[in-house]
A and B are shown apart, each in its own frame.
Chain A
Amino acid sequence: MNIRPRVIAGFIIKEFIQILRDRKMIGAIFFIPVIQLVMFGFALTSEVKNITLVMVSPPSKMARDIEARALASGWFSRVDINGAQIADPAELLTSQKAEAALVAPKEGFEYAFEHLDKPAQLLINAINAQRAQQVDGYIKQIVLQTARAQSPQFDAGRVGWRSRSKMAP
């Protein structure tokens, strides 16, 4: 078979002209990738954000510190609910006013951290199991960081841990 480069070049030019003349095609070529970029770059993400956490506890420095760390992390959104006045924390989740509730024992978070016989309870809406696991991990990390900053018994222990994320650090 004899391939004639001039003929192929002619066809390529003809196709280009045809595409450039067709407004719909131009739209499809340039507009759709931009839309997809915006959608998948910003909106459609599996990165957990906007977690609504309510601290159900009497007002205390520890509760404020945990909340401040959570908000500073960028994963959480502020919720205007006074956690000290919540009688039934599970209702916050059923009514979808919050996604997670960190409930201190009656004596407060300080007691929970010092004595450990009455742990704090973390309630998470787990309809989306994946997200719930991530929320669980995030909140525990934040609570432990706060505990470490406030109490020497939670100081880094005998195992040094270094984690490195490859591909998308």
Chain B
Amino acid sequence: MISLRRVRSIAFKEYKHILRDPFTLAVTLALPLVFVAFFGFVIDLDYKHMKVAVFDGDGTAQSRKFLRGLSSSEYFDLRALESIGAAQDALAKNNSPAALIIKKDFGRNIARGDAAKPARAQLMLDGSDNAKAGIVLSYMTLALQKAEAVFTGADFSPADIIRTRFLFNPELNSRWFIVPALNTIIIGFLAIVLTALTVAKEWENGSMELLLSTPVRPAEIVLGKLAPYFFLTFFDVLLVFVLALLVFKIPFLGSFILFLIACGVYIIGALALGLLISVLARAQQAAIQFAMAVGLLPSFIFSGFIFPIENMPLFFRWFTAAFPQRWYLTISRNLFLSEAGGAAPGGFSALWLPFLMIFLFAALMILLAVQNFKTDVEP
């Protein structure tokens, strides 16, 4: 029978350890703030106000009107240059992802309206960032079609046959995509890496054996040791949640209860994984390497945090399914932005699989951690 009093005592001891260890304390308290500051403010993934180097070789009312139309869009910031060479230079020196060259007689050919002699413009794109190049090309083409409608006096442009509605993130703010996903990284670091490291330290120092020789049972030691990390990680997750709402004004449309359940289950699974790593590695150096490889790295590259899973080939999409980070991140983003789990039609149908996967992960990790810990301490 597990004694709550003994678990509480171990937890209190661990809590004092954390308070005395400036590294653990600093990491725990500063990590969410550093991540939020870095990913929320420093990294900007928005494709708006993209610089376009422009050489207007025509200089007529029509060409200026065309350029005014472009600069009025929030997508482009035009930078006028004196020659074709300067526009090409801007592209070559990475000062601009695109260079637009308006050829001579642009205005005259438009006024003439002869389809055989169209006005000429050239757009050069920096293809090394294919995502940005694709977006510049798409929006330039649409802007061009709008401009054509103005020149021809038509009361519509071909671009008007479709109206786009961006659901879940209507302002196309990339911070809405990044900040709700930060919890995945924070849990990966605190619950997996830090737990593996601190518990491995106990093994390395021999203090774990000392603890095991006391009347406290192994299960009580495990629960007591992990409890403070559970609460600290949960505190950090809630801190990011509050910052997302108050600082970044990200809406939270889903069910808060489901969010708490998802965080609780995933943190428990991650703590069990951290414990398992510490039992298997026994030494701090090996534990941190292992924890980084299975805890932190997948949080960045296999979760969809930066690289969307949808862009991956079929094999890798299945491969990422093995990482709980992917499923927790899906839950977090959807609960924030898409009314998933709420009253919206089709709400929970997108979330049942991610929830099932994190429950399975937590159950499997607890089973493996307990089994390995027991095997380790029993003669």
Contacts and interface: CB of A to CB of B under 8 A. Distances in A.
- Best-buried of A90, A148, A155 by chain B (most CB within 10 Å): A90
A48 to B, nearest CB: 6
B161 A138 contact: no
Nearest to B137: A163
Interface in A120-169: 120-134, 136-141, 143-144, 147-148, 154-169
B126 interface: yes
A161 B102 CA distance: 10
B176 interface: yes
A164 to B, nearest CB: 5
B158 A144 contact: yes
A163 B123 CA distance: 5
A129 B138 contact: no
B311 A122 contact: no
A127 B337 contact: yes
Interface residues of B, number: 80
Contacts of B127: 165-169
A147 B122 CA distance: 24
Interface stretch (B14-22, B143-151, B212-220, B262-270): B143-151
Interface magnitude class on chain A: 35 or more
Nearest to A114: B161
Interface stretch (A2-10, A15-23, A37-45): A37-45
Interface SS, A side: mixed
B72 interface: no
B148 A158 contact: yes
B312 A161 contact: no
A46 B311 contact: yes
A43 B162 contact: no
A97 B340 CA distance: 13
Contacts of B3: none
B118 to A, nearest CB: 4
B376 interface: no
Interface string A70-106: 0000000000000000001011111111010010000
A137 B165 contact: no
A60 interface: no
Interface string B148-161: 10011000101111
A2 B114 CA distance: 79
A64 interface: no
Contacts of A47: 130-131, 311
B304 to A, nearest CB: 8
Contact of B346 (A91, A99, A147): A91
B318 to A, nearest CB: 11
12 contacts: A51-B310, A93-B167, A119-B161, A130-B177, A134-B131, A136-B166, A137-B138, A148-B158, A158-B118, A160-B118, A164-B122, A166-B126
Interface of A: 39, 42-51, 88, 90-97, 99, 102, 112-113, 116, 119-134, 136-141, 143-144, 147-148, 154-169
Given A96-B349, A134-B134, 5 more contacts: A39-B301, A120-B161, A126-B169, A140-B159, A159-B148
